[in-house]
Amino acid sequence: MKTGNELRMLLRSIDHKGYPNYKQTAGSYHFNQFDLYIDHVQGDPFASPSSLHIEVSHEQAKFPEAYYKGNSQLKDNAGNVGGDVAKAARIALQDHLTRLLSAQFEQYNFKAKGSGKSGLISISRCGQEVLERTACEITDEKIIMRFHVGFPAFGRTINAGELEKILFEFLPKCVENSVYYVNLNKKKVEAAVFLAEDQYVLRQTLRQEKLVSFVANGSILPRKSGVSDVPMKGAVPFTSPSSMERSFILPHKGEIKGMAVPEGITLIVGGGYHGKSTLLSAIQQGVYNHIEGDGREFVITEETAIKLRAEDGRSIRNVDISMFINDLPNNKDTGSFDTEDASGSTSQAAGVVEGIEAGTRLFLIDEDTSATNFMVRDEFMQQVISREKEPITPFLERARDLYEKSGISTILVAGSSGAFFYIADYILQMDCYNTVDITSNVKGLCSGHTAPRTQAPNYAVPDFQRVLPPYRGRLISGNDDRNDAEGKDRGGRYKEHGGHESRNGYREHGGHESHSGRGGSRHEHMKVKAFGLESLSLDKESINVRYVEQLTDAEQTTALAYLMRYILENKLDGRATVQDIVRSVEQELEQKGFKPFCSSYIPCGLARPRTQELYACLNRFRG
C-alpha cells in the first residue's frame, strides 16, 4: 500500500496531461484517518464516475461492539431471539453511516470544478426503508464505505489540483464527521440500532404468536404524495380496533400496542377513498424495517409476504397452474404452462404458484389490481356459463385450502363482491381512515343469504421440481474457470464498470471481458443495465419488474441485475431446479456478500433484494 503523499505526488506529475493518465492512480493508499482504495477510474470526464472506497478499522472508529456484533445482554433476556438480532443491528448501523456520509458529501458535491461529472462526490441515497447496501459494509475488523467521485478535468485534460482538493481536503472532513463515533450524535446512533433490535424482536414475536402483521397505534400510514414516501402531514394516526389490539414488551421501547392480524384470511373493506389501499400498502412495505420518523416504524409484516396482482403480457415458463386453470379449449397443458403473453388471470394464477414456490406465508391482494375473473365468479354468471365451460377456478375457491392445507394466509382488499365475506376469518372496515372490526356483524348478515361456492376439489400444490432450460443468449468461449477469470485486462488491470449512473439517469454496468491468462482465452460477461424500479436488462434481454411492487429501491433492481447475470452464466445448467438455484445464490450472499457476483471489486449502488424478488425476477426473464 502506498502513502497518501505518494498519491499527491502522482497527481501533480500527471496534471494537465491527457485524461487517460488518471488510470495510474488506481490502487490503495494509506491516509492518517483511513485507507483509500481507487477501484475503477472513469475513461473520460463525461463517463460514469470513478469508484472508490475507504476502510477504517474499529480501533479508529470506536463504535461500541454491541452495535455490530450483537447485544449479548439482549440475547440473554430473550433467548428465543437468536443471533440474527446482531445482523439487524449491524444493517441499521450501516444504514445510519451511509446517511451521514451522504449528508456530508452534499456539502462538497461539485465544489471542485471542471467538465462533465468533474467534482461529483456521491454515495447511495437511502429512502425510508433500512436496506443492506454495498455503500457501507461493517465486518468484524473494519468499516468499509464505497462511493463515487468524478475525477476533474478541463475538457479532457486532467485537473489534478481539483482532485487533490477532493481527496485530501473534502474527503477527510466527510469521513471524520460521519465514520468516527466520537464526532457523532451518540443518541441518534443508539436510537437507530435500538429501533432495529426492537423491530427484530417484534418480528420474531409475531411468528411465535401466529400473527402475520402488526400495525402500531399512532402509526402514520398515508404518504405525502405518489412520488414522495415521507409521511403525510396532518394524517389520521392509526388506531387498532379493540377486538384485535395486542400489546408486546420490546427490549428498548417497552410496551407497544396495536392491531395484530392473526394467520388466516383477513378482508379489508370500506368505501372509496377511506384508506383500504393505504392500509394494505403500509402492510406490504412492512416486510422492511423503516427509519425513525417514518411513521411506519412498527408496521411489521411477515417477511415472506408477497403482493399479488394481474400482469397482462408477462411471460410464464414451465409453471403448474392447474389448481386454478384447467381444461383449456386448445388442450394446452396447464400442468407445465408456458406463454409469452399471459392474460390477467393466467398471470395472477402463476403468481400464486410462484409465490408458494418462493416460500411465502402471506399473500396480499388488492381487488383493484386483480383480474376479476380470477378472483371470483358470481352465482348468476355460473348459471349463464356453466362450470364445465369455465376453465378458471377462482381464488375465492382456493383461499381456504391455501391456508388450511398449505399454511398460507391472505390479506385482501375488496370493494365490489360480498362473496369473500363467507371465507374471511376477520373483516375490517376502513371508515374515514379509522379501522373497525365488523366480523361478527357481517357473519350475521351472511347467515341470511345463500352462500356462494367457496371451495373447489382437487387442491394440490406442485412438487416444485421445475427446471429452466440453459441460457443460450451468449456463448462463452475459452476457459470457464472463474478463479482464473478475475476481470483483468491484458495488462493485469481490472476493467469492471459497476454501479455508476449513466447520463440518461439509468445505471449501467459493465460488459467487461476477463482474460484467463491461459493462451488468451476469454470469459466475456453480460452487460447489465438497471432502469429504476421499472426494468433491468442483460445484454439485449429485458426483464420487466414494474409490477413487482415490493421492490422499494432502484439499487435493489441493480443488485438483481448482478444476481441474474451470475445465475445465467453459472447456474442454468438444465438440471438444477429453480428452488436449488435461488437457495444457492442466497447462501452465497449470506456467506460472502456481493463479492462472488462482482468480478473485480464490489461497487457502491447495490441493495440486497428479498428472496421473493429474486424468484420474481428469474420467473420474468424471457431469455
Output the pLDDT for position 478: 35
Output the pLDDT for position 509: 56
Residue 501 pLDDT exceeds 60: no
Output the pLDDT for position 497: 39
Residue 237 pLDDT exceeds 90: yes
Banded model confidence at residue 332, pLDDT cuts 50, 70, 90? confident
Which stretch of 180-184, 430-434, 569-573 has the lowest confidence by average pLDDT?
569-573
Task: With beta carbons less than 8 A apart as the criterion, state whether 202 and 250 touch.
Answer: yes
Chain segment 362-394, per-residue pLDDT in tens? 999 999 999 999 998 876 666 666 566 678 999
Output the pLDDT for position 523: 46
Look at residue 262 and give its three-state secondary structure.
strand
What is the side-by-side order of every strand in the sheet holding 245-250? Answer: 245-250, 254-262, 211-216, 299-301
- Name residue, grid cell 376469518: 425
Cell numbers found for residue 544: 420487466
Which stretch of 35-49, 101-115, 204-218, 370-384 has the lowest confidence by average pLDDT?
370-384
Question: What percent of the chain has pLDDT above 90?
Answer: 79
The letter for the amino acid at 209 is E
Banded model confidence at residue 254, pLDDT cuts 50, 70, 90? very high
Angle at 69 between CA 67 and CA 74, to 5 degrees: 75
Domains of the chain from N-terminus onward: 2-184 (no CATH), 262-465 (3.40.50), 500-619 (no CATH)
Banded model confidence at residue 180, pLDDT cuts 50, 70, 90? very high
**CB neighbour burial string for 531-545, b if at least 16 within 10 angstroms, e if fewer:** bbbebbbbbebbbbb
Residue 135 and residue 149: Cα distance in Å, rounded? 13
Helices (H), 358-483: 372-375, 379-384, 399-406, 439-446
Residue 599 pLDDT exceeds 60: yes
Look at residue 530 and give its three-state secondary structure.
strand
Residue 489 pLDDT exceeds 90: no
Output the pLDDT for position 517: 33
Is pLDDT larger for residue 522 or for residue 546?
546
What is the arithmetic mean of pLDDT over 189-218?
Answer: 97
Output the pLDDT for position 160: 97
**Residue 587: Cβ-neighbour burial (10 angstroms; 0-12, 13-18, 19+):** exposed
φ, ψ of residue 188 in degrees (nearest 5): -70, -40
Which stretch of 147-151, 239-243, 471-475, 607-611 has the lowest confidence by average pLDDT?
471-475
Look at residue 323 and give its three-state secondary structure.
coil
Neighbour count for residue 510 (Cβ, 10 Å): 23
Residue 233 pLDDT exceeds 50: yes
Which stretch of 179-193, 286-300, 473-487, 520-534 has the lowest confidence by average pLDDT?
473-487
Output the pLDDT for position 83: 62
Residue 333 pLDDT exceeds 80: yes
Q: Looking at the DSSP assignment, which residues form a beta bridge with residue 27?
A: 38
Residue 512 pLDDT exceeds 80: no
Output the pLDDT for position 383: 61
What is the arithmetic mean of pLDDT over 249-266?
Answer: 98
Chain segment 458-477, per-residue pLDDT in tens? 999 999 999 888 887 654 43
Cell numbers found for residue 181: 463515533
Residue 480 pLDDT exceeds 90: no
Average of per-residue pLDDT values in the chain: 89
Is pLDDT larger for residue 13 or for residue 76?
13
Residue 8 and residue 164: Cα distance in Å, rounded? 7
Residue 221 pLDDT exceeds 70: yes
Element (H, E) at 39: strand 35-40
Output the pLDDT for position 56: 98
Output the pLDDT for position 511: 44
Output the pLDDT for position 486: 33
Task: With beta carbons less than 8 A apart as the criterion, state whether 576 and 523 touch.
Answer: no
Task: With beta carbons less than 8 A apart as the criterion, state whether 269 and 592 touch.
Answer: no
What is residue 577's DSSP assignment? Answer: B
Chain segment 402-428, per-residue pLDDT in tens? 999 999 999 999 988 889 999 999 999
Residue 488 pLDDT exceeds 50: no
Q: Which residues contact 449 (CB under 8 A, 6 or more apart)?
A: none
Output the pLDDT for position 385: 61
Task: With beta carbons less than 8 A apart as the criterion, state whether 373 and 352 touch.
Answer: no
Residue 510 and residue 501: Cα distance in Å, rounded? 12
CA atoms within 13 A on the CB side of 487: 20
If you write DSSP's letter for every residue of 172-241 in order, what string do you get? Answer: HHHHHTTT-GGGS-HHHHHHHHHHHHHHHHHHHHHHHTTEEEEEETT----EEETTEEEEPTTPPPP---
Q: How far is CA 531 from the centre of its chain?
A: 14
Question: What percent of the chain has pLDDT above 70?
Answer: 88
Is pLDDT larger for residue 268 or for residue 540?
268
Residue 94 pLDDT exceeds 50: yes
Output the pLDDT for position 491: 32
Output the pLDDT for position 330: 77
